[in-house]
Amino acid sequence: MARKNKSDRKWYGKLRDKYRLVIMNNETYEERLSFRLSRLNVFLLTIAVSIILITLTIFIIAFTPIREYIPGYLDVNIPGKLYRLEQRADSLERSLRAKDLYLRNIRNIIEGREIVDSIVPVRDAGIDYDNITIESSPEDSILRAEYDARTKYNLFFYESEDLYDGALQISDIVFFIPVEGIIINKFNLAEKHYGVDIAASTESMIKSVQDGTIIFSDWTSETGHTIAIQHSGNFISLYKHNSTLLKSTGSFVKAGEPIAVSGDSGELTSGPHLHFELWHNGTPVDPEEYMTF
C-alpha cells in the first residue's frame, strides 16, 4: 500500500517538475531566451490552443462564405435565389413574347393579313390534346376550396430581397398595358390627376399590368366600378370607371389576366374611358414612365 502511494506521488511529482527551455546561439552558445515549463503547463497550454483553434474554425465555417466550398454544405439562400431567378426569367420570356407578337402584327399589317391578339402556344406533336379527358375528384375540389379560403387575402412579397434590386432595376420592369387605346388626359400632380385617362372602345377587356392580389373591388359613387391590385415591389395599380368587375377582393391575378370590362361608370367620368393609376411606395407615379401605350 505504501509503495502504491509512493508511486502515485512520484507520478504526480513528475507532472509538476520544472524544466527549463533554453534558446542559444549555435555559434557563440550565448543564451537568447529561456522558459521555465512543466509537463502540466505544456498540457494545459496545448488544450487551450486546441480549443481556440476549434472555436475559430467553427466561426469561420458558420459565418463566412468559406463554408460554401465544403463538399455537401448547402447555402440556405440558394432556394430563394433560384426562385427569384425563375421570376426574372419568366418576366423576360413574357417581354420577349410580347415583342414577338408586336413584330408579327407589323408584318401582318404590311402583308395585309389579320392582326392576332395573342400568341398561340406550340403544341407537342406527340400528345393528342383533343382526346384528353381529366375530371377533378371531390377530394381535389375540397382541397382547392380549403387552399383558396386560407390564401385568399395573402399579399405576395419577396421576404429576403426585393425582386427589383441588384441587376434588375425598377426601370427594367416589364408592365403590361391595361387596355389598348389613346391617352386623352395625362398624369398631372399639380391638378391632382394621379393617373392617365385612356380612351378605349366600349366593352374592352381591362387587364392586370402585373401579378398581384386584388385589395379592392367594388362600386364607388365617384369612380364607379373600381378595382385595385397590390403587386410585388410595393406597386399598386388602380382601374376606375369600369362597366363590370370580373374579379373579387382577395383574388390573385396574373399579369395580362382580364380583371374588368371598360365602361363609363361613376360621377367623375366624361365618356367611355379607363382611368388608370400606378402607385409606388405610397406615391403616385406617371404610368407612361413604366409602359408604352
Cell numbers describing residue 242? 369600369
Range list of H helices, the chain: 2-16, 39-63, 78-111, 138-151
Question: Is the entire prediction scored with pTM above 0.75?
Answer: no
Instruction: Give tens-digit pLDDT for 252-280.
Output: 999 889 999 998 888 888 888 899 999 99
Confidence of residue 52 (pLDDT cuts 50, 70, 90): very high
Confidence of residue 284 (pLDDT cuts 50, 70, 90): very high
Contact by Cβ (8 Å): 219, 266: no
Domains located in the chain, CATH noted: 2-69 (no CATH), 176-289 (2.70.70.10)
What is the reported pLDDT for 64? 79
For residue 241, pLDDT over 70 is answered with yes
Contact by Cβ (8 Å): 61, 71: no
The dihedral built from the CA positions of residue 221, 223, 224 and 227, taken in this order, carries a sign that is negative
Average pLDDT of the segment spanning 125-129: 60
Q: Which residues contact 228 (CB under 8 A, 6 or more apart)?
A: 214, 215, 216, 217, 236, 237, 238, 239
C-alpha closest to that of 238 among 199, 209, 205: 209
Cell numbers describing residue 252? 390573385
C-alpha closest to that of 223 among 182, 273, 259: 273
274, HSE (Cβ side, Cα atoms, 13 Å): 32
Q: Which amino acid is present at 276?
A: F
Q: How far apart are CA 214 and CA 153, in angstroms?
A: 8
What is the reported pLDDT for 164? 45
What is the reported pLDDT for 158? 44
